[in-house]
Amino acid sequence: MKSNLGKRCVRTLFGKTVEQRRDSMGYVFLLPWLIGLVSFFILPFFEAMYQMFYSMTLGENGVQYTYVGGKVFKEVLWENSNHIRMLLASIGNTLRDALLIVIFSLIVAILLNKPFRGRGFCRALMALPIIVSSGVLMQVLKGDLLLSSVESGAAANTVFQGAVIEDALLKMGLSVTVVNFISNSVSTILDLIWQSGIQILLFVGGMQAIPSTYYEVCGVEGASPWQSFWRVTFPMLTPFLVLNMVYAVIDSFTMPENKVIVEINEYFHNVLYSQATVLSMAYFVLVSIIVGAIALIFSRRAFYIEK
Amino acid sequence: MIAQNSSVERNRRLGIFAKKLPGMLLTVFRFVVLFGLIFMIIYPFIFMFVTAFRSEVDLNDPSVVWITRHYTLDNFKRFLGMVNFPDMMIFTMVISLSCAVLQTFVCALAGYAFARFKFRGRNFLFVLLLFTIIVPEQTFIMQLFLKFRFFSPPGISLLFKLFTGKSSLNLLNTPFPFIIQSMFGMGIRSGLFIYIFRQFFRSLPSELENAACIDGSNALHTYFTVMVPNAIPAFVTVSMLSFVWNWNDYLSQSFLNMSRHSVATFLYSIHGTISVATQNMEDPTVMYILIQSGTLLCIAPLIFVFLFGQRYFTESVERTGIVG
């Protein structure tokens, strides 16, 4: 009401309010980004879609396109039966990793949330994976662990070799698929630690943002820590849960040691551009379906304070 | 009487113990998990530091595990002799530094626009922004490759023709593709940076701008004199992340610099490069030491960034919140 009155009072020459004139300044701030968005995102994206139906040859002055229709699709997705299997397997792995990352980082964040001696040090070290880690570096670092176990006998990573555990679980009568799932998870835990840096920080940040009055109410009502976690902390963290899940999926999607990415790079190095684009488009469509599904399913359930 | 008293006392003590037990267990659990975690994170780095300075004499000495007897810089010297390290370092440094500066500047502008202006089409553009975060580069990296292989932006291509006789430039294997993309807010993970800035600017009180507006300052002037000084933490966080991610960016560098190594692409093939340089004649452990010292040199700037910025960084990620 008040602001409406204000707007009517300050109507200016061109029939626009001061606020409207100020708001159109937003385009000035956005200008560089808009140029970039069109020329380095939207145009390339549509060109890539168009180019999937053409075969390309690289010449001196540019690229020659010849129309081939759906031939490339057929070649990449139908005739090479490996690819479909690879895509599905990679998506399964991605989902498993994302789930593990989220659970793992939630547990670590809970441990880091309450003040204790050395908390600052621990939190600082959690930032190390974000800053230093990349897919490339991780391979070198993993090489270290391998070598050291060869060298010094007392191995850091034999703990994570699932052979013994696998045997024990099989003897307990669990089915092979379950045991495989567990042992695979165990063997990727080193990677997961390195990938969950940003998720841990986000969860800790989310926990700090929960108003302390909620916990006071819990204390007054006589809730146990267990109850107050599930009734207060967890619901308040659900938005972060969605975000972390999506972030983890996207992150593992673009990692260079991802098998599909390796395949795409191989196509590219063999000058088979259309094939590479088809494969990456297929992958992108699959992953965006999954990201969309995660966002939809979880954000319905997620709890936001201000509606 | 006395017996009763002591049993009461015992019960009381048991009660206290039962109350304290969960807390003690939590402390032990926390210690075990965090210790393990920190060990996993820090172990490779300690190992790298220790081995990089180790001389070959100590290699076959079983009593040397962590603390080296003979320190040496020979590993670094040998490594530098094998690889054109300065060229690679300068190349990567130019890319990372200039991208960090440009990206921070442009993304801050865009983030401010999304945070404080209600222009037409804002929601639509914001959805597009989220798309730039989700859509991976692989889908259109070929198009980017071609764009920079035959670089001719409309309007400027005439100038190229005047000076070089060709209608397009080949910008591959130079820092320019990265600089141009960052300049227009499309560098690595720019969408995320814009999002961070948007969240941060939204958390600042709007009275600041209103006061400046009443004092007669226009939007641009207000932005640079009032808003930017108040958003220093976000600027530091984003520029650090941008520097680091550009440094580690393997994907687009492997496409756009096929015949020139940056640090990330070099690290990917470090094993092969060194075994070629030693003609595969070298003892594998010596090779590993060389790899360690090479990697240490390659990531030294990152470690510096971490040491100087970690405190600032963790706090501002938590406080400003990448999320809202």
Closest Cβ–Cβ partner in A62, A123, A264 for B314: A123
Same-domain status, B20 and B162? no
Tell me the residue type at A281: M
Report percent pLDDT > 70 for chain A. Answer: 78
User: Would the CB atoms of A152 and B220 count as touching at under 8 Å?
Assistant: no
Q: How far is CA B137 from the centre of its chain?
A: 18
- Is residue B63 included in any domain, yes or no? no
A190 compared with A225, residue with greater pLDDT: A225
* Residue A307 scores a pLDDT above 80: no
- Are B146 and B252 in the same domain? yes
**pLDDT value, residue A154:** 37
Residues of chain B with pLDDT under 70: 1-5, 280-282, 313-324
Q: What confidence score (pLDDT) does residue A14 get? A: 55
Q: Of the candidates B68, B90, B91, B77, which has an alpha carbon nearest to the alpha carbon of residue B293?
A: B77
Instruction: Tell me: do B278 and B130 sit in the same domain.
Output: yes
B256, HSE (Cβ side, Cα atoms, 13 Å): 31
* Residues B29, B115 share a domain: no
Segment 186-225 of chain A within 8 Å of chain B by CB:
190, 193-194, 198, 201-202, 204-206, 208-209, 225
Phi/psi for B178 (5° steps) reads: -70, -40
Contact status of B179 with chain A (Cβ, < 8 Å): no
If residue B221 lies in a helix (H) or strand (E), which one and from where to where? helix B219-222
Distance of CA A282 to the CA centre of its chain: 18
Q: Are B184 and A26 within 8 A, CB to CB?
A: no
Phi-psi region of A115 (alpha: psi -120 to 50; beta: other; left: phi over 0): beta
**A54 pLDDT higher than 70:** yes
Q: Specify whether B42 is located in the same domain as B104.
A: no
pLDDT of residue A145: 47
Strand, helix or coil for residue B81: helix
Q: Which amino acid is at B60?
A: N
CA distance B191 to B185: 8
Mean pLDDT over A48-56 rounds to 81
Assess if residue B71 is contained within a domain.
no
A257 and chain B in contact, CB less than 8 A = no
Report the pLDDT value the prediction gives residue A305, as an integer from 0 to 100. 55
B6-39 tens-digit pLDDT: 777 888 887 877 778 877 888 888 888 888 888 8
Determine the pLDDT at residue A157. 41
Neighbours of B127 (CB within 10 A): 9
Q: What is the mean pLDDT of residues A163-184?
A: 73
* Within a domain: B187: yes
* DSSP code string of A132-146: H--HHHHHHHHHHHH
Task: Determine the angle formed by the axes of helices B270-277 and B284-316, rounding to 10 degrees.
Answer: 150
- Between A180 and B118, the higher pLDDT residue: B118
pLDDT score for B114: 92
Q: Tell me which residue range forms the domain holding B13.
A: 2-47
Task: Quote the ipTM score.
Answer: 0.83
- Distance from B222 to chain A by nearest Cα, in Å? 12
More confident residue, A186 or A128: A128
| Cβ(A259)–Cβ(A60) below 8 Å | no
Q: Which amino acid is located at A260 in the chain?
A: V
According to DSSP, the residues that pair with A55 across neighbouring strands are A66
- What tokens were used for B288? 């590993």
Q: How far apart are CA B247 and CA B267, in angstroms?
A: 11
Comparing CB atoms, the residue among A127, A133, A137 nearest residue B310 is A127
Q: Which of residues 130-189 of A touch B (CB under 8 A)?
A: 130-137, 139-141, 143-145, 147-148, 151-152, 156
Compute the nearest-CA separation of A140 from chain B (Å).
Answer: 8
Res A5: pLDDT: 44
Q: Which residues have C-beta within 8 Å of that of residue A39, sequence separation ≥ 6?
A: B153, B184
Name the percent of chain A lying above pLDDT 90. Answer: 7
Measured CA angle at B271 (ends B266, B273), to 5 deg: 60
Whether A56 and A65 have beta carbons less than 8 Å apart is answered as yes
Structure confidence at residue A16 as a pLDDT band (50, 70, 90): low
**Which CATH number belongs to the domain containing residue B146 in this structure?**
1.10.3720.10
- Name the residue type at position A134: S
Q: Is residue B76 part of a domain?
A: no
> What pLDDT was estimated at residue A6?
45
The verdict on B43 and B112 lying in the same domain is: no
pTM, 2 dp: 0.81
- As for how many domains chain B has, the answer is 2
Task: Tell me the residue ranges of DSSP E strands in chain A.
Answer: 54-58, 63-67
Contact B167 A61 (CB under 8 A): yes
Give B238 to chain A, closest Cα distance, Å. Answer: 12
- Please indicate, yes or no, whether residues B188 and B278 belong to a single structural domain of this protein: yes
Greater confidence (B39 vs A15) lies with B39
pLDDT digits (tens, 9 = 90+) for A84-140: 888 888 888 888 888 888 998 998 888 888 788 888 888 888 878 877 766 566 666
Greatest C-alpha distance within chain B: 111
Count of pairs with CB atoms under 8 A, one residue in A, one in B: 254
Which CATH code, of 3.40.80.10, 3.40.50.9100, 1.10.3720.10, 3.20.20.10, is assigned to A73-301? 1.10.3720.10
C-alpha neighbours within 13 Å on the C-beta side of residue A107: 13
Q: A41 and B132 in contact by Cβ < 8 A?
A: yes
Contacts of residue B260, defined as CB under 8 A and 6 or more positions apart, other chains included, come to B91, B173
- Per-residue CA distances from B77 to B47, B53, B85, B171, B303 (Å): 19, 11, 11, 33, 21
The burial class, CB within 10 Å (0-12 / 13-18 / 19+), for A247 is buried
pLDDT > 50? residue A148 = no
Instruction: Kindly state whether residue B53 falls inside one of the protein's structural domains.
Output: no
Q: Minimal Cα–Cα distance from A100 to chain B, Å?
A: 15
